Amino acid sequence: MPLALIMIDIDYFKLYNDTYGHLSGDQTLIRIAEVIKGVIKRAGEFAARYGGEEFVAILMNTTAEGAAFVAEQIRTRVEELGIENREIKNVVTVSLGVASVVPDNEMEPNELIDAADRALYKAKEYGRNNVTVWESQQE
């Protein structure tokens, strides 16, 4: 049974906090968490704040393709919130990294997190506000 992980990072969030203040930043975190909660709702799915401006979502019995579809829903809905970020002359967006594996006894627990994190960094390299799926051949 595949297990997928989505890492979500708010683009330019430090700049947003510096511009609008931490109270506005906290409200933005709450609004984005509500979007994630609205998308991650099947039995066996779980989402949490991972630290700072990052969130993670764990999807049971979900392939990389299925997780990428879910991640794109999150990305689109966050962008549609229309939270202004005048410093970047755009709205607040998120970048998402997706990884999926079929766990086995040889797998280290952090391997899925590391793969999703690498995909997230690729999403940021590709210009932010997008979803990138980690492919094992990228290693």
Chain centroid to CA 75? 8
Average pLDDT over residues 93-102: 96
Identify the CATH number of the domain in which residue 22 sits.
Answer: 3.30.70.270
Q: Which ranges in 54-94 belong to alpha helices (H)?
A: 64-81
- Provide the pLDDT for residue 139: 45
- Domain extent for 17: 3-138
Determine whether 53 is an active site residue: yes
Q: Which residues, at least 6 apart from 63, have a Cβ–Cβ distance to it below 8 Å?
A: 2, 4, 100
Q: Is the dihedral of CA 73, 75, 79, 84 positive or negative?
A: positive
- SS3 state at 111: helix
Residue 137 banded pLDDT, cuts 50, 70, 90: very low
Q: Which residues, at least 6 apart from 121, have a Cβ–Cβ distance to it below 8 Å?
A: 97
- Indicate which residue of 34, 45, 53, 72 is catalytic: 53
Average pLDDT over all residues of the chain: 93
- Provide the pLDDT for residue 136: 64
pLDDT in tens, 107-116: 777 999 999 9
